[in-house]
Amino acid sequence: MLTTDLLLTRSKGPYIEPRYIDVASPKYQQLALDLIDIFARHQGRTRKALKAALDQYAGDRTDYRIQRGLAKLLFDDRCEFHITSAVPPTDLRQQTFALSRENHPVICEPNLIYPITREHILEQVALKYQISTDQVEEGLYADLAENHRLQTFEPPSANFLLERYNVALAQAMLYRCERLELSLYRNIPARYKQLFKFIKFYRLIHAINGDLDAGYEIVLDGPLSMFRHSQKYGFQMAVFLPALLLCTRWQMRAEIPRPDGRRQEFIIDDSAPLNSHYRDQTIYDSLLEETFARRFDAAKTEWELERESEIINLKETVMIPDFTFRHPSGRTALLEIVGFWRPDYLRRKLEKLKKARRKDLIVAVSRDLNVSEEDFSDVAGEVFFFKNRIQPREVLGHLEQIAPPST
Amino acid sequence: MRLTFEDGTLLLRDFAPSEPLPPAFVWDARVDQWRAQALFYRDTLDFLRQARAEYTNRAPNYNTLSLQLNSPLLPHPHQQESLEGWRRHQRRGVVVLPTGSGKSQVGLMAIADAQRSTLVVAPTIDLMNQWYDLLCTAFGVEVGLLGGGYHEIHDLTVSTYDSAYLHMERYGNRFGLVVFDEVHHLPGAMYSHAAEMAIAPYRLGLSATPERADGRHVLLDTLVGPIVYEKGIRDLSGEYLATYRVERRQVQMIAEERAAYDAARTQYQNFLTSKNVKLGSLKSWQQFVQLSARSSAGRRAMLAYRQHRKIALGTTSKLRVLEDILKAHPRDRTLIFTNDNETVYEISRTFLIPAITHQTRTKERKALLEDFNQGAHLALVTSKVLNEGVNIPAANVAVVLSGSSTIREHVQRLGRILRQREGKEAVLYEVVSKDTVEDRISARRRRHPAYTKSTA
């Protein structure tokens, strides 16, 4: 994560955006390679030495903040530092300071009143531990962060580093964000689920408008946001960004307050030069779904199965059914598969299904689960149980039940 | 209706339209619930009681305690009066007392008086650690820590502002009393969440200097309560605080440093003259910063500017003066302050004096302070971490080798040696490089009344 002082922005009237760097530009490719090289050459050396080398390299260049940003990402994500000392530094300090207390004050040039100098004391400590006085001096504060040594460095490719930097810039912008608006259009359930996993985990609150065909408008902020503007939730919004980048069709609008009280907007969409470093979820949540989708496509029917899903807003949470069905006549229905769930998940799933009150929802429940038909009696829509695999024919039967042709 | 605490706010669940609605609550259409800031918990209860409403209160999750305050000391009159003032204001308010007058003792008395699960919020890890020690000794119970790598909640818990505002949405209902130490930190845009997301009906703020340059201290009234007691440094000095004298030592830079200083100074000044910028205001400083990002010459000038300040604040001649001061006080407890950690460790390595910075681990820090107070160490060198209210009763010599021009910082450093002790005279040395930028920094920080009172 980049700190605010490393965030470079550009304002255009009511809009603000980070100064992204051109990943392909030879200038930045070279910069990234040079920095990675400096890190690689400092394996086994101290953080202080590494920092000094980076400052030296920066010299009087005016793009030093880009350099520092890149270096910060390397420090945070790619480096492992360790303490190296022949004797634990705390022991060395204890010995040394105890001796210096006996001879207080310790001075550099000996005289009649103070015959003992620091050299004498260091020698005594060295003798005790059978090490050199240099090792005593060096070890005394070997546990300070600046004296830690670079144990391992995993060099990324220049491209990876530069792309990561652009995303980190956008994230740093969101630290200051008070409110986030998203437009999402026809994404697959796995991506929506990933988004809402982050929203829930970071205790953000959502408000949703829209539907499957028109797309969704989602406003994100925190519990307190209704009482006062707060940047408290900015960090949560920043960590959420890479998950958004994995979506296919989206736009994001963030309100960024300036120190003078004015507000600017930071807008990005799926055309932004940003690549997520999060791993994309597989298209299907489970083999069960994948098999069903394949078999359904092979079945003879006018119903089309769509991967793009609806978001059912349950206010304090959401439900994202696995499939949408669409008939040429305009009829639609949803399918939720309750496959292999742990008991606590299952309980929550049941509650969601009840709360959703969707009559156009088919629920396919595995017989392997420890539930009975009674448990589903309050669920609107059609519920059926399956063993091993879901038969397209059975789903089609329920489709005609739930969404009959209008007469 | 059912009052619950969720994510730093209050929700009124199962509310029927026929029931009286407490004024702090607003309809939250995002979740279809009535919501209020946790801060208004007490007002809400008052309202519901007056309206004779029927409700279940599931919000609080704190305990009534039976703490015994083991304190050998009788409270000073100003401490007793502070407590009474606070109690008269329904245990909500700010007590203003100078550094060294025993503010923490007032905090302990308030905790013993309220007998509720209590959170103490302090500005730094060091102060958090010190409150931890204090609570352990005063009440002999297990004390929790939230911050500095710790995450344990007990009936008595200590935290930092940084951790408190981050975590209050989870723990805001676990405490009936919150003590905000150095409460002038609280009204910041982010830190104020620590008060807003807590339901604690009892609140105490402690500070020597509650005013803020940005004027936001007016928020304290809502966040904590009004000022319920106030005494200045002159009201208490001599009576409850040790007397002290100030000695100023000017040092000449050695020739090489002087040359490097002058060269750096000429370089950045030439640059600024060429750009028609005269330093002295915030605006001109911003201009300088912008120019330094635009050209290599500007960048060099900025580096030269930093260099010249660094030389002035950390000249080797100062180490010689420090050696003289140490020799002059071979049996005194001496605290040495510098502006940056680098110099702290340089002094520690040179004179083999133990150092405390924000990087010092809790256990070692605690041991060093104890040893210092008991005389097992005679000197300590530190940067900014001991600035605010850390308890070092034994110290009677302070050496300010370099520092920022902030007045508060300096008064608090003075406070360090103002602990009352039988027959103790404290000395504060201020070591300044002659004819440098540091003259001005020093002049600015001495503008406080506590500083003009030199008894020597």
Q: What is the DSSP string of A171-237?
A: HHHHTT-SEEEEEE-S--HHHHHHHHHHHHHTT-EEEEEEETTTEEEEEEE-GGGGTS--STTHHHH
**What is residue B243's three-state secondary structure?**
strand
Confidence of residue B449 (pLDDT cuts 50, 70, 90): low
Q: Which two tokens stand for residue B451?
A: 């500083």
Q: Cα separation of A311 and A282, whole Å?
A: 19
- Range B253-262 burial, b when 16+ CB lie within 10 A, else e: beeebbebbe
Q: Are B117 and B176 in contact (CB under 8 A)?
A: yes
Task: Search chain A and give the residue with CA nearest B326.
Answer: A105
A225 shares contact with chain B (CB less than 8 Å): no
Confidence of residue A105 (pLDDT cuts 50, 70, 90): confident
Q: Are A285 and A349 in contact (CB under 8 A)?
A: no
C-alpha count within 13 angstroms, C-beta hemisphere, residue B265: 14
Q: Which range (A288-292, B337-341, B434-438) has the least confidence?
A: B434-438
Q: Report the candidate in A274, A240, A271, A273 with the shortest Cα–Cα distance to residue A254.
A: A240
Q: Is the pLDDT of residue B227 over 90?
A: yes
Q: Are B183 and B207 in contact (CB under 8 A)?
A: yes
Q: Which two tokens stand for residue A246?
A: 């994995």
B324 shares contact with chain A (CB less than 8 Å): no
Task: Search chain A and give the residue with CA nearest B293.
Answer: A62
- Which residues, other chains included, contact B37 with Cβ-Cβ below 8 Å and sequence gap of 6+? A224, A227, B9, B10, B24, B196, B197
Longest dimension (CA), chain A: 114
Q: Counting runs of H as helices and runs of E as strands, what totals does chain B give?
A: 17, 19
DSSP state of A132: -
List, in sequence order, the alpha helices (H) in B352-387.
362-374
Q: Which two tokens stand for residue B218?
A: 């007016």
Give the residue-averaged pLDDT of B120-137.
Answer: 87
Q: What DSSP element (H or E) covers A336?
A: strand A332-338
For B349, the closest of A107, A137, A222 (CB atoms) is A137
Give the residue-averaged pLDDT of A109-119.
Answer: 75
Kindly report the nearest CA distance between residue A370 and chain B, in angstroms: 31
Q: Which range (A127-131, A235-239, A340-344, A347-351) has the least confidence?
A: A340-344
Q: Is the pLDDT of residue A179 over 80?
A: yes
Q: Cα separation of B73 and A184, whole Å?
A: 66
What distances in angstroms separate CA B310 from CA B261, B355, B432, one per listed residue?
Answer: 9, 20, 13
Q: Cα separation of A364 and A354, whole Å?
A: 14
Question: pTM of the prediction?
Answer: 0.79
Confidence (pLDDT) at B185: 95
A180 shares contact with chain B (CB less than 8 Å): no
Give the residue-averaged pLDDT of B359-385.
Answer: 82
B443 shares contact with chain A (CB less than 8 Å): no
Q: Do B378 and A105 touch (CB under 8 A)?
A: yes
Confidence of residue A281 (pLDDT cuts 50, 70, 90): low
Confidence of residue B454 (pLDDT cuts 50, 70, 90): very low
Q: Cα separation of B417 and B395, whole Å?
A: 6
Q: Do B352 and A144 touch (CB under 8 A)?
A: no
pLDDT digits (tens, 9 = 90+) for B86-116: 999 999 999 999 876 788 899 999 999 999 9
The set of long-range contacts for A4-10, using a CB threshold of 8 Å and a minimum separation of 24, is: A4/A172, A4/A175, A4/A176, A5/A65, A6/A65, A6/A68, A6/A69, A6/A72, A6/A172, A7/A169, A7/A172, A7/A173, A8/A65, A8/A66, A8/A169, A9/A173
Q: What DSSP element (H or E) covers A57?
A: helix A47-58
Q: Are B245 and B456 in contact (CB under 8 A)?
A: yes
Kindly report the nearest CA distance between residue A376 and chain B, in angstroms: 25
DSSP state of A6: G
CA B224 to chain centroid: 17
DSSP state of B218: G
Q: Cα separation of B34 and B22, whole Å?
A: 10
Confidence of residue A339 (pLDDT cuts 50, 70, 90): confident
Q: Are B32 and A315 in contact (CB under 8 A)?
A: yes
For B31, the closest of A61, A62, A315 (CB atoms) is A315
How many other C-beta atoms can be found within 10 angstroms of the C-beta atom of residue B435?
13
Confidence (pLDDT) at B384: 63
Q: Which range (B80-84, B194-198, B239-243, B246-250) has the least confidence?
A: B239-243
Q: Report the candidate in B380, B191, B441 with the shortest Cα–Cα distance to residue A101.
A: B380
Q: Do A96 and B352 touch (CB under 8 A)?
A: yes
Q: Do A93 and B326 touch (CB under 8 A)?
A: no
